[in-house]
Amino acid sequence: MTEPTTSDRDVRFLADWEDHTKFGAVEGSIGVERQAASQADGEQRKWFAELLETNGFSVHRDAIGNQFGLLELMPGAPYVLTGSHMDSQPTAGRFDGAYGVMASAHACIRVAAELRAHPERARFNLAVVNWFNEEGSRFKPSMMGSSVFTGKLDLETALATTDPHGISVRAALDDITERGNFSGLDVASYAEIHVQQGRSMEDDGITIGLVNATWAAHKFEFKITGEQAHSGSTLMADRRDALLGAARLVVAARDLVNEFDDGLLHTACGEINVYPNSPVVVASEVQLLFDLRSPSSEVLRDAYDSVMRTVEKVQREDRVEIEIVAEHSWAQNPYPEVGVELARVVAEELNLTHDRVMTVAGHDSTNMKDVAPTVMLFVPSVDGISHNLNEFTRDEDLIAGLHHLTGVVQRLAEGALAS
Amino acid sequence: MTEPTTSDRDVRFLADWEDHTKFGAVEGSIGVERQAASQADGEQRKWFAELLETNGFSVHRDAIGNQFGLLELMPGAPYVLTGSHMDSQPTAGRFDGAYGVMASAHACIRVAAELRAHPERARFNLAVVNWFNEEGSRFKPSMMGSSVFTGKLDLETALATTDPHGISVRAALDDITERGNFSGLDVASYAEIHVQQGRSMEDDGITIGLVNATWAAHKFEFKITGEQAHSGSTLMADRRDALLGAARLVVAARDLVNEFDDGLLHTACGEINVYPNSPVVVASEVQLLFDLRSPSSEVLRDAYDSVMRTVEKVQREDRVEIEIVAEHSWAQNPYPEVGVELARVVAEELNLTHDRVMTVAGHDSTNMKDVAPTVMLFVPSVDGISHNLNEFTRDEDLIAGLHHLTGVVQRLAEGALAS
C-alpha cells in the first residue's frame, strides 16, 4: 500500500471542497445561503460528521451546537483545535468560514498521518471545530458558538435568543438535531484560516496573510423614536419622522469617512427595522445598526464624537429622539506575536509569499485568542468580494493555505506555543 | 309608542360607536389595530352585519369583500350609497374610516324612518357600505374594495394580491368568511363622511368640511440596487450601498419641501424594505416608497424635476442604480360642485359652521365620484392627529357630522343630484 502523495491529497481536498458547496447552493450562482441552524446548515453538518467519521475522527456537539471532530494521538493530552464556521450570511460566498473548516479537517488528517508515523514527535491531540452561528445574521450576536465556548456569552441567554420569526436558538438547533452535551475540551492552542474579506493581499501579491490584529471598532444599536402620522395630510412642520432621522444617520455615517485619510475609517449601517413601515404612515420607530471601524484608536474616538454631534443635531432639527439601545466597542485587538512568528516561519519554509495583515472583520479566533495561544491566517480573495454570491478564491490559493495551515497545526501538535 | 327624539337617537349612535371600538382595541390606548381581513376586521364585520340586520337592512358581500347593508324604500329603484371603511393602519386611530361607516348606518336608519313616514318624498333606496381594504397597509394598493367596485382594478388581480407573509386577499377574505357574490348594485349617488386628517378645520373653527378637491400627487416605488459586501472590511470606495442610496432619497424628500412656500408640498417615505438587512452586510437592494403631494400642479412638476436630479446625482456619486419600479400620479382632482353646494345648503340649514376644504389623503369617494354624483364631508380631528393611536374627534363633532350626513342622504334619497 502506497501513501497518497501531496498532490493526491490536494485532489481529495478539492473533491471534498466541491462536494461541500452543494449544501445551500444558490441556483445560478457560485454562492450559498446557509444561515445558522437552517435546513441547509443541518444537512451540511450531517455530511461533515460523516466525512470526519470516515477519516477516523469521533464527532461531538456541545450545548450551543459547536461541532467537534477529535483525533486522539496522545490519550489524555490537551488538543490543538483548528476550525472556523460553516454558516453563511444570506446569499453569500461559499468560502467565508467553510474554507477554514474544510482546510482544518484535511490539515488534521495530514498531521495525524505524519505523527502516527513519528509518534515520538506528538505532544497534543487534534481537533477540528465547526463553530455555531459565526455570522449572526439569523441570531444575534455573531460569533455565538465561540463566545459561549470561551465563557464570554451565557449559554442560556444564547439558547433563548430568537430569530425574526420568534424561533429560538434552542428550537432551531433541536430541529436539525445539532444540540449536544459534549464539554470539557482541553485546548492547548488554536489555529484558524479564512479568506481575506478585503483586497489588500491580492493587490500586494501575497498568498499567506499573517493576521496580527483586529481593527478597533465601535458598534451602536440606535432606536429612533418619532410619532405615527398620516404621511400625506400631516403638516410637514408637525411631523416627527423616525425614518427621516435614521436616514440622516445613514448619510452621516458615509459622509463621516471623508473627514479622515483614505482607509482610516470604515462605517456601515447594514440593518434597519421600521415601524409601522406602511405606505401612508410616518414611521414612529426605527432600529438602526451603525458601525465604526478603524485601525486607529484616535480616528475612532474622533469619529465617535462626530456621530454624537450628528445625533444631537438630528434630535433637535428633526424632532425625533435617538437612544443608544446597545453599544459595544473594542480597541485594536492584537493576536499573539508568537503565533504570527510561527506562521511566518512556516510560510518561509513552504516558500509562500506572506505579510502581516490586520483583519477588519471579527472571527471566532478573536474569542479563542483570549483563552489559548492562537494563529490566524488569511488567503487572498479575488477583488476582496465578501458577503456576496460572487466571492471567489482560486484553487491554488486554497491549496497553498491548506499546506500552510497543515504546517502550523503540525508544529502546534508538536508543542509549539505550549506553555 | 313614541318615536325616539333626535337626542335619543344621538345617544344610541354614541352607544353603538362605543361598542364598535372594542374590535381590535389596542390595550392602554384609545386606538385600534384592525388591518384588512384580520381577525379583528372579521369580528367587527360580523358585529356590524348584526347591527344592520337588527335595524332592518339586508346584508350582502361582494366578491372583493365590500360589505353592503340595503334598506329598500322604492322596490326596483337605484340606491343612494353611503359609507367608508372599517379597516385601519397598524396601531391607528378609532375614527379613521369607521366613523364614516357608523354615521352612514345611522343616517340611513334616520332617513328611512323619515321617508317611510312620508313615502311620497322617496325616490331612491338606501345602502350603507363598508369598503374592503381602504388603508392598503396589509395588501396594496389602498382603496382596493372601491377600486374593484368602480372597475378601476381587476377583481382577479386584487384577489391574488399577497401580504408580506404571502397570504392572498382571497385566502384572507375566506378565512374571515367575508368573500361573497353580491353584485349589480345600481348607485344613484354616493356620500361619505370622514374625520379630517389635518388640522386646518380645527385651526379655523369649522365643524363641517365641504370637500371640493383632492391634492395632486405623484407616488414612486423606487428600487435601489447596489452590491452585497462585507460591511466591515470592504473598502469604502468599493462599496455600492443600496441603503445609503435610499437614505439619500429619504433625506432629499424632506429637504425638498424647503424649496417651496409653506404648505405647498408634502413629501413622505413611509415604507422601506432592505435586503439582506443583516448586521454586517452592505445592502444590495432596497425598495422605497416615495410620495409627493401638492395642491399646485406647478409645484408638483418642479418637485418631480428636483427628485429626478437627486436620483441622477445619487446614482452617479454613490454608484447605485435607481429604478422607478412603479409610479402613479394624479392632478388636482375636483369633487363635483353640485355636491359641494348641496352640502353647503344642508350645513346652512343646520346652522353648522362650514367651509370648503381640500383633502390631501385619498378616500373611497375619490373612486366613487368618477361613477356617481358624490358628496364628501369632513369633521374636525383634534390637532389633526392621524394614523396614530391618539387620533381623536369630540362627540359633539361626531354628532354634528351625523346630523349633516343625514341631511345630505335625505336630499339624495329625495332625488337631489339625480340626473
What is residue B336's DSSP assignment? P
Helix, coil or strand: residue B278 = coil
- Say yes or no: B273 contacts chain A, CB-CB below 8 A: yes
Question: Does A6-214+333-413 match A216-330 in CATH topology?
Answer: no
CB-based contact A129:A68 (threshold 8 Å): yes
Q: How many CB atoms lie within 10 A of CB B404?
A: 27
Q: What is the pLDDT of residue B274?
A: 98
Looking at beta carbons, which residues of chain A come within 8 Å of B91?
228, 276, 284
Q: What is the pLDDT of residue B7?
A: 87
CATH number of B6-215+333-413: 3.40.630.10
Which residues 15-44 of A have a C-beta within 8 angstroms of B?
Answer: none
Q: Which amino acid is it at B85?
A: H
A-chain residue closest to B385, CA distance: A229
Which residues 178-207 of A have a C-beta within 8 angstroms of B?
Answer: 196-199
Q: Which of B234, B319, B381 is the best substitution to test chain A (most A C-beta atoms within 10 A)?
A: B234
Output the CA–CA distances (angstroms, integers) from residue B75 to A289, B70, B181, in the order listed: 64, 11, 21
CB-based contact A266:A258 (threshold 8 Å): no
Q: What is the pLDDT of residue B134?
A: 97
Which helix (DSSP H) or strand (DSSP E) does residue B315 occupy?
Answer: helix B297-318
Handedness of CA A150, A153, A158, A163 (dihedral sign): negative
Q: Which of A87, A200, A233 is the best substitution to test chain B (most B C-beta atoms within 10 A)?
A: A233
Shortest alpha-carbon distance between residue A320 and chain B (Å): 14
Beta bridge partners of B327: B220
What is residue A179's DSSP assignment? -
Mean pLDDT, residues A173-199: 97
When CB atoms are compared, the residue of B197, B263, B265 closest to A230 is B197
Q: What is the pLDDT of residue B3?
A: 57
B-chain residue closest to A272, CA distance: B277
Half-sphere exposure (Cβ direction) of B410: Cα atoms closer than 13 Å: 22
Burial of A365 (0-12, 13-18, 19+ CB in 10 A): buried
pLDDT bracket for residue A330 (50, 70, 90): confident
CB-based contact A147:A64 (threshold 8 Å): no
When CB atoms are compared, the residue of A199, A231, A388 closest to B268 is A231
Q: What is the pLDDT of residue B419?
A: 74
Q: Is A276–B137 a contact, with Cβ atoms under 8 angstroms apart? A: yes
Residue with cell 472571527: A363
Which residues 321-360 of B have a C-beta within 8 angstroms of A?
Answer: 359-360
Its pTM surpasses 0.95:
no
- What is the DSSP code string of A258-299? GGS-TTS-EEE---EEEES--TTEE--EEEEEEEEEES-HHH
Output the CA–CA distances (angstroms, integers) from residue A284 to A230, A272, B293, B387, in the order listed: 11, 13, 21, 10
Looking at beta carbons, which residues of chain A come within 8 Å of B95?
none
Q: Is B291–A257 a contact, with Cβ atoms under 8 angstroms apart? A: no
When CB atoms are compared, the residue of B250, B291, B384 closest to A243 is B250
From first to last of its 419 residues, what are the pLDDT tens digits of chain B? 455 666 899 999 999 999 999 999 999 999 999 999 999 999 999 999 999 999 999 999 999 999 999 999 999 999 999 999 999 999 999 999 999 999 999 999 999 999 999 999 999 999 999 999 999 999 999 999 999 999 999 999 999 999 999 999 999 999 999 999 999 999 999 999 999 999 999 999 999 999 999 999 999 999 999 999 999 999 999 999 999 999 999 999 999 999 999 999 999 999 999 999 999 999 999 999 999 999 999 999 999 999 999 999 999 999 999 999 999 888 899 999 999 999 999 999 999 999 999 999 999 999 999 999 999 999 999 999 999 999 999 999 999 999 999 999 999 999 999 87
What is the rounded CA–CA span in Å between residue B140 and residue B134? 9
> What confidence tens digit (pLDDT) does each residue in A217-262 have?
999 999 999 999 999 999 999 999 999 999 999 999 999 999 999 9
Q: Which amino acid is it at A309?
A: R
Shortest alpha-carbon distance between residue A121 and chain B (Å): 39
Q: What is the pLDDT of residue B144?
A: 97
Q: Is B233–A361 a contact, with Cβ atoms under 8 angstroms apart? A: yes
Q: Is B280–A361 a contact, with Cβ atoms under 8 angstroms apart? A: yes
When CB atoms are compared, the residue of A251, A272, A291 closest to B231 is A291
When CB atoms are compared, the residue of A230, A233, A244 closest to B250 is A244
Output the CA–CA distances (angstroms, integers) from residue A191 to A52, A198, A366, A367, in the order listed: 18, 20, 11, 12
CB-based contact B226:B284 (threshold 8 Å): yes
What is the rounded CA–CA span in Å between residue B253 and residue B303? 9
- Say yes or no: B1 contacts chain A, CB-CB below 8 A: no
Q: Is A197–B243 a contact, with Cβ atoms under 8 angstroms apart? A: no
Q: What is the pLDDT of residue A1?
A: 43
Looking at beta carbons, which residues of chain B come within 8 Å of A199?
235, 238
Beta bridge partners of B162: B168
Looking at beta carbons, which residues of chain B come within 8 Å of A233?
196-198, 266, 359-361, 384, 386
Q: What is the pLDDT of residue A2?
A: 53
Mutual angle of helices A6-20 and A39-54, in 10-degree steps: 160
- Say yes or no: B266 contacts chain A, CB-CB below 8 A: yes
Q: What is the pLDDT of residue B330?
A: 87
CATH number of B216-330: 3.30.70.360
> What confidence tens digit (pLDDT) does each residue in A280-315 have?
999 999 999 999 999 999 999 999 999 999 999 999
ipTM of the complex: 0.92
Which residues 368-397 of A have a C-beta within 8 angstroms of B?
Answer: 383-389
When CB atoms are compared, the residue of B236, B383, B387 closest to A230 is B387
B-chain residue closest to A276, CA distance: B90
CB-based contact B334:B212 (threshold 8 Å): yes
Shortest alpha-carbon distance between residue A215 and chain B (Å): 10
Task: Show the CA angle centred on residue A146, arms to residues A143 and A149, nearest 5°.
Answer: 145
Phi, psi (rounded to 5 degrees) for B84: -170, -140
Please say if the pLDDT value at position A275 is more than 90. yes
Shortest alpha-carbon distance between residue A381 and chain B (Å): 12
A-chain residue closest to B294, CA distance: A232
What is the rounded CA–CA span in Å between residue B355 and residue B379? 11
Which residues 214-243 of A have a C-beta within 8 angstroms of B?
Answer: 215, 217, 227-238, 241, 243
Phi, psi (rounded to 5 degrees) for B328: -145, 150
Query: Domain residues of chain A, as ranges?
Result: 6-214+333-413, 216-330
Looking at beta carbons, which residues of chain B come within 8 Å of A244?
250-251, 254, 269
Cis upstream peptide for A334 (omega within 30°): no
Strand locations in B363-419 (E): 374-379
Q: Which residues of A385-411 are buried (b: 16+ CB within 10 A; e: fewer)?
A: bbbbbebbbeeebbbbbbbbbbbbbbb
Q: Is A361–B230 a contact, with Cβ atoms under 8 angstroms apart? A: yes
What is the rounded CA–CA span in Å between residue B184 and residue B83? 17
> What confidence tens digit (pLDDT) does each residue in A194-215 have?
999 999 999 999 999 999 999 9
The CATH superfamily label for domain A6-214+333-413 reads Zn peptidases (3.40.630.10)
Q: Is A269–B243 a contact, with Cβ atoms under 8 angstroms apart? A: yes
When CB atoms are compared, the residue of B91, B232, B289 closest to A279 is B289
B-chain residue closest to A288, CA distance: B279
Q: What is the pLDDT of residue A3?
A: 56
What is the rounded CA–CA span in Å between residue A416 and residue B49? 81
Torsion-angle region of residue B91: left (phi > 0), alpha (psi -120 to 50) or beta? left
Q: Is B278–A272 a contact, with Cβ atoms under 8 angstroms apart? A: no
Q: Is A229–B361 a contact, with Cβ atoms under 8 angstroms apart? A: no
Looking at beta carbons, which residues of chain A come within 8 Å of B137?
276, 278-281
> What confidence tens digit (pLDDT) does each residue in A123-154 have?
999 999 999 999 999 999 999 999 999 999 99
Share of chain A above pLDDT 90, in %: 97
Share of chain A above pLDDT 70, in %: 99
Helix, coil or strand: residue B294 = strand
Shortest alpha-carbon distance between residue A138 and chain B (Å): 8
CB-based contact A302:A267 (threshold 8 Å): no
